[in-house]
């Protein structure tokens, strides 16, 4: 009984003493430091280069946020509304980063380490991107098309 209790205490102390895991994966290109937003954008604008999987996912997430703000602003100013506007926005948030990664960054999914193609790129940053797009869309739609 006491040895089982001792093992549980050792496991609990090992979990408590575990180092913190960084929120963004360390980049070998920056000496193990995580990529900043500016570094993500500069690498994204530079085009094709050697990419680690985590760096690519971080960069696509940052690009998706900026793209979603732009799309949401355009939708709001143009007065798009309803299900058609929402589905067009979702399609733009899914397919634009895929086209960006495939043709501008020249990414081959197998060489980067995506075993299932670009499915990781579809999901990476989609929820925050959709939230940012909806925020911009609703705010600008209300500002331009409301009769308050």
DSSP string, 71-119: HHHHHHHHT--HHHHHHHHHHHHHHHHHHIIIIIS---HHHHT-TTTTH
The pLDDT confidence band at residue 26, using thresholds 50, 70 and 90, is very low
Out of 3-17, 56-70, 101-115, least confident range? 3-17
Q: Where are the domains of the chain?
A: 27-145
pLDDT at 121: 81
pLDDT at 24: 40
What are the two backbone dihedrals, phi and then psi, of residue 27, each rounded to the nearest 5 degrees? Answer: -105, 125
CA distance 108 to 117: 9
Of residues 117 and 20, the one with the higher pLDDT is 117
Out of 39-43, 57-61, 100-104, 144-148, least confident range? 39-43
For 55-99, write each residue's pLDDT tens digit. 888 888 888 999 999 999 999 999 999 999 999 999 999 988 888
CA distance 74 to 140: 9
pLDDT at 86: 95
Out of 20-29, 38-47, 53-62, 135-144, least confident range? 20-29
């Amino acid at each position: 009984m006491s040895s089982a209790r001792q093992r549980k205490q050792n496991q609990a102390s090992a979990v408590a003493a575990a180092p913190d895991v960084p929120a963004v994966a360390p980049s070998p290109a920056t000496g193990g430091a995580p990529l900043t937003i500016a570094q993500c954008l500069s690498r994204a604008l530079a085009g094709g280069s050697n990419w680690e999987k985590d760096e690519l996912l971080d960069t696509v997430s940052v690009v998706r946020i900026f793209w979603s703000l732009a799309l949401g602003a355009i939708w709001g100013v143009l007065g798009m509304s309803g299900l058609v506007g929402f589905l067009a926005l979702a399609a733009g948030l899914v397919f634009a980063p895929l086209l960006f990664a495939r043709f501008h960054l020249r990414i081959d999914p197998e060489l980067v380490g995506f075993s299932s193609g670009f499915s990781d790129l579809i999901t990476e940053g989609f929820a925050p991107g959709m939230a940012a797009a909806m925020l911009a869309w609703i705010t600008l739609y209300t500002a331009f098309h409301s009769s308050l």
